[in-house]
Structure 1
């Protein structure tokens, strides 16, 4: 083994031993900051769901009141339960799923009541009733929710026998609960319209912080920070998944509720940003992975390229702020164009890692320009060709 290779092996093992060291004050500070972020995220999640929680409570009470005061039912169990289950579904699913819940209840109640009338209740009756009611639901072309509801309701009917003359009032209670849920859905909160933009802002802000930590790990040669940043970049996909879900929810709200239709253009505009944002995160992961390799191997990266990363982090932070303020981040185009022009200059001293990072910076500039509202062709034209022949993606 050559002396150079032996030195690299020793350095590798040395870093491995260093990772087992007792936690430093810096490690504890990072852990405390992470705990604060998690607590803040959980609190924000609870606050964001407060309207839904109150809506479920009020909806259950209204369904109970309609079934008791309006229809004269003694114990309308299915009315508040169906209301809560239906309100718990996403806006895009409520109309179809409420129908499935009510049909499932109808099948389960009918099969259960008919079977109990002839054969009574017991363990073997439950087996037969569940299999029979779920089979009937499946024959009717039901989805899994309807089929499951049929089985659940048949068990309830089999074990809790209704008083004479009240058996099929349970299906009517389910209709009341589902109807109340649909009426409540018309008065959708504004939160599903704001949250897609807020989540998009958080994703872009996360990109900025990851770029900032990447630069710091390269400047300080901090392999631990490089590893943590790479892990954070990989985890950013979950934030984008949440943005997609929130966007779909927002579109469903404006299409379902007549009181929110005017917000469709704004919600659709945020949905259109998700594709370039997805590409930006993919390019970010490649960039951070190559930066981590450069840090692990002590491979120098040109100072000019580090300045490009810093400028990109600053610009993405501006984009995040403008999105949070409900503005299209058109002001960021100037900064992105400057980064694109600077990234066209190849540093002859750069190694493989530096060139991969430069190429990813250029690709991210295209993606971020599209976030400012430019079509792909215009965004690509704002990134000039390199001064030397280099293989790159844009």
Structure 2
């Protein structure tokens, strides 16, 4: 109970506005689930003539869920899971009837078969649930085909409803890439401001913000997966496939860039805390990198030409070779700046060779 309370406490502290925003984000998915459930029930009851097709709307809701990701996979897993669970349970009930030990054996057998099929969690769970239902509530062998058809109906309706998905899952990955780049720019500017002002507390707060960027990266990966899922399922969105794949590929170098920026900010926080002097040229370089990241964010958000951002990143890369070596913190920051330049050029679409060439070898200074 104590553990559960600790896990629940952060959720209870969320304000009403945040809860409303979450509901607004999930509103379209909830509507899809509701409409899908009603349509699945109607098709199974009135078109197929099943007297009590309770599992058709259940299958539709589970397949659609409140996320766009992996809908096709969930649908297939539900249909196959129902087939495995119903098939095993029907055969077993016909041979030995129902009871406590029968439930244990049937559930274990159905879920084991699903696992041996290298199934996902949804399929394994559905196999076990259907085995329980057949063994306890509906131990009528001839009803097995009807329950499986209900699952097929629910899955088919789910895919049909998903085919009319709005454009938001396609825009969301690009928006997250842009907003993450804006956060990178803000973090870099905040860190240099703290160092210049001798503000270790401000640097520490910036470092804490940097540590929270992992949430953005998780959201980006999920959104990219959801976008790809939409273009696979919806025939109306196929033309966006290349664009979504391009944004999905940006997630990898952006992840590297954010991790490099975290290290950079942590080192600047250390320098601020230790009052470690850093070359003026180095702090200017970090600010220029921030400005270039901001420009890249603007151009990606507008789906425009990123050539201006690329040119700015190239200039920062060339300037990084001229910054003199200094303290340990200074050398670490410089190294992270140079690595981040390469990563952001990858985000802009440059291949590794061209991105690396934009950061020439550092010159030796007397």
Q: TM-score range by the shorter chain?
A: 0.7 to 0.9
Which aligned pairs between 1:2-21 and structure 2 lie closer than 5 A? none
Q: Matched residues in 1 for 2:285 and 2:21: separation? A: 34
Q: Matched residues in 2 for 1:41 and 1:323: separation? A: 27
- Kindly indicate whether residue 182 of structure 2 is the aligned counterpart of residue 208 of structure 1: no
Please name the residue that 1:218 is paired with. Answer: 195
- Once the two structures are superposed, residues 142-187 of structure 1 have per-residue CA deviations (whole angstroms, 9 ceiling, x without a partner) of 5543232121112122332378965542222112111111222332
**Any conservation in 2 of the 1:328–1:373 contact (CA below 8 Å)?**
no
Q: Matched residues in 2 for 1:271 and 1:111: separation? A: 40
- Kindly indicate whether residue 42 of structure 2 is the aligned counterpart of residue 65 of structure 1: yes
- Kindly indicate whether residue 359 of structure 2 is the aligned counterpart of residue 388 of structure 1: no
Match of 1:377 among 350, 353, 362: 353
Gaps of 5+ in 2: 1-12
Match of 1:365 among 335, 341, 366: 341
Please state how far the C-alpha of 1:139 moved relative to its aligned partner: 5.7
SS in 1 for 2:52: coil
Q: Matched residues in 2 for 1:170 and 1:337: separation? A: 62
Flag the 1:71–1:285 CA change in 2: closer, same or farther, 3 A: same
Gaps of 5+ in 1: 1-34
**Any conservation in 1 of the 2:254–2:347 contact (CA below 8 Å)?**
yes
- Once the two structures are superposed, residues 171-224 of structure 1 have per-residue CA deviations (whole angstroms, 9 ceiling, x without a partner) of 221121111112223323212211110111121111112112211221222222
Query: TM-score by structure 2 length?
Result: 0.84
SS in 1 for 2:42: helix
Please name the residue that 1:299 is paired with. Answer: 276
- Once the two structures are superposed, residues 286-345 of structure 1 have per-residue CA deviations (whole angstroms, 9 ceiling, x without a partner) of 211211111121101222322222222233222222222222432223433333343332
Flag the 1:367–1:108 CA change in 2: closer, same or farther, 3 A: closer
Mean CA deviation greater in 86-95 or 58-67: 86-95
Match of 1:128 among 97, 105, 120: 105
Q: Matched residues in 2 for 1:133 and 1:276: separation? A: 42
Q: Matched residues in 2 for 1:353 and 1:96: separation? A: 48
Which aligned pairs between 1:246-265 and structure 2 lie closer than 5 A? 246-265=223-242
**Any conservation in 2 of the 1:91–1:256 contact (CA below 8 Å)?**
no
Equivalenced residues, count = 354
Mean CA deviation greater in 63-72 or 133-142: 133-142
- Once the two structures are superposed, residues 213-265 of structure 1 have per-residue CA deviations (whole angstroms, 9 ceiling, x without a partner) of 21122122222222232232233233223212222322232233322121122
Q: Which has the larger radius of gyration?
A: 1
- Kindly indicate whether residue 158 of structure 2 is the aligned counterpart of residue 181 of structure 1: yes
Please state how far the C-alpha of 1:364 moved relative to its aligned partner: 1.9
SS in 1 for 2:307: coil
Q: Matched residues in 2 for 1:384 and 1:278: separation? A: 23
Q: Matched residues in 2 for 1:109 and 1:289: separation? A: 56
**Any conservation in 2 of the 1:192–1:253 contact (CA below 8 Å)?**
yes
Flag the 1:43–1:197 CA change in 2: closer, same or farther, 3 A: farther
Match of 2:216 among 239, 246, 249: 239
Query: TM-score by structure 1 length?
Result: 0.79
Match of 2:122 among 126, 145, 162: 145
- Kindly indicate whether residue 182 of structure 2 is the aligned counterpart of residue 193 of structure 1: no
Cα RMSD between the aligned structures?
A: 3.0
- Once the two structures are superposed, residues 1-28 of structure 1 have per-residue CA deviations (whole angstroms, 9 ceiling, x without a partner) of xxxxxxxxxxxxxxxxxxxxxxxxxxxx
Mean CA deviation greater in 233-242 or 84-93: 84-93
Q: Matched residues in 2 for 1:368 and 1:142: separation? A: 38
